[in-house]
Structure 1
Amino acid sequence: MPDLHGHARIHPWRAQEGIIPAVAIYEPDWRSGLHVPTRIRRTDGELLGIAGLWEEWTDRAGQIVRSYTMLTINADTHPIFKELHRPDPKRPPDMQDKRMVVILPRGLYVDWLDAPAEKTIDFMRQFPADRLVAEAQPREPRAG
């Protein structure tokens, strides 16, 4: 597929799609001005199936290396995730880095794993806030 300048584009999405199972994820809540670890899980107790990518490659020493990443999307409008992450005082309120991992509904797991690269954008959606619970997990004060 050519780009705007007529050059052939190499699709950057060369890794394999995967699903990262998690009981919960932790994000920092800075609304109080302090970093408060916040545990986010599904209301039904099911595992979170986080859309991810993985790649396997060989380093210079000949060792196989596996790399993994969780995909994130903009969360400016998500009732839970828009409140998380540290505000950047150098950026206006509408330009803050509000993001969330892509949580796949269980019924889409196979579709995600089978999707060709050009269709993966269809999975980049916010998970419904009413199906998530966010609970502050404040750290215990350190002694001494």
Structure 2
Amino acid sequence: MSTHYETLRHTSAYAEAFGVEAPAAASELHLWPRMSGFFIRAPAAPQAPLAEGEGAAADAAPSRRRELVPAQWGLVPHWVKSASDGKLRAPKLVNAKSDLVSTGTAFRDAWLQGQRCIVPMAAFYEDDFRQGSKARPTRIARVDGKPMGAAGLWARWQGPDGEELFSYALITVNANNHALMNRYQQPGSEKSMPAILNEGAYDAWLNARVDKAKEFLRQYPAQSLTANPVETKADKVPKGWLE
């Protein structure tokens, strides 16, 4: 289960990789539950039909089809009674299993209402327990270093006084048989990974019919990912120390 991911370091990367207007400021580089990040969704307002011959122009300006929204990582369902209640639930709602998104109480409404999104990330982190009981954080990114767009769900909570909170969750897929991801997470547990979307499928994912949307939730090819253990202070040998 991914509870830590890395956002895009440069704001210009949002426009370059996802065709959205760059934010005024980047979010924190490392995100954990309840922190503020970004998701990308289809425009809230319906677009006017394209006139004949406008298709190419529309393809050249993808920002008209997608928008970047600042939000909390950790879904806050619309039915929670207070923002504080939603924030308490959020750490358990940062990931939505692909096989439960349409039935789970917390995610069902967002799924059925087509509130799908793309979560931009440079990398995500998983724990490696293969060297013993102590977890070794591992950074997982694309081999080519390009940003990844992970499938997600978003929600909008509104309080009785008009208080508004946007939030989102990553959608994960089973990775028990994935050549790379089956090495990580707790031994004996079900392995999972974010459902990373193919770049050419971004708009199709955002606009697909609900009954077709699960077709986009697949494992990302192992050969396209690289995993690197994260160095910590404890890993460094003190200067002058000899074995």
**TM-score bracket, shorter-length normalisation:** 0.7 to 0.9
Q: Which residue of 2 aligns with 1:90?
A: none
Q: Which residue of 1 aligns with 2:230?
A: 137
Q: Which residue of 1 aligns with 2:143?
A: 43
Question: Which amino acid is the alignment partner of residue 108 of structure 1?
Answer: A
Q: Distance in 2 between matches of 1:31 and 1:123?
A: 31
Q: Which residue of 2 aligns with 1:116?
A: 209
Question: Which amino acid is the alignment partner of residue 223 of structure 2?
Answer: D
Q: Distance in 2 between matches of 1:85 and 1:140?
A: 22
Question: Which amino acid is the alignment partner of residue 163 of structure 2?
Answer: Q
Q: Which has the higher helix share?
A: 2
CA contact (8 A) 1:37 1:139 kept: no
CA contact (8 A) 1:42 1:133 kept: yes
- Assess, with a 3 A threshold, how the Cα gap between structure 1 residues 84 and 98 changes in structure 2: closer, same or farther: same
Alpha-carbon shift at residue 60 of structure 1 (Å): 4.2
Q: State percent identity of aligned pairs.
A: 38
Q: TM-score, normalised by structure 2?
A: 0.49
Q: Which residue of 2 aligns with 1:20?
A: 119
Is 1:79–2:171 an aligned residue pair?
A: no
CA contact (8 A) 1:15 1:55 kept: no
Q: Which residue of 1 aligns with 2:168?
A: 68
Q: Which residue of 2 aligns with 1:6?
A: none
Alpha-carbon shift at residue 140 of structure 1 (Å): 1.5
CA contact (8 A) 2:124 2:139 kept: yes
Alpha-carbon shift at residue 45 of structure 1 (Å): 1.4
Q: Distance in 2 between matches of 1:49 and 1:27?
A: 17
Structure 1 outlier segments of 4+, above 2 Å: 59-62
Encode CA deviations 1:84-131: one digit per residue, 9 max, x unaligned: 1012xxxxx5xx220000000101111101112211110111000000
CA contact (8 A) 2:114 2:210 kept: no
CA contact (8 A) 2:154 2:168 kept: yes
Alpha-carbon shift at residue 139 of structure 1 (Å): 2.0
**How large is the Cα RMSD of the aligned pairs?**
2.1
Q: Which has the higher strand share?
A: 1
Q: Distance in 2 between matches of 1:61 and 1:82?
A: 46
Q: Which residue of 1 aligns with 2:15?
A: none
Number of residue pairs matched by the alignment? 127
- Assess, with a 3 A threshold, how the Cα gap between structure 1 residues 60 and 30 changes in structure 2: closer, same or farther: farther
Q: Show structure 2 runs of 5+ residues with no match.
A: 1-102, 236-243
Q: TM-score, normalised by structure 1?
A: 0.81
Encode CA deviations 1:36-61: one digit per residue, 9 max, x unaligned: 11001101111011001111120344
Q: Distance in 2 between matches of 1:44 and 1:106?
A: 13
Q: Show structure 1 runs of 5+ residues with no match.
A: 1-8, 88-92
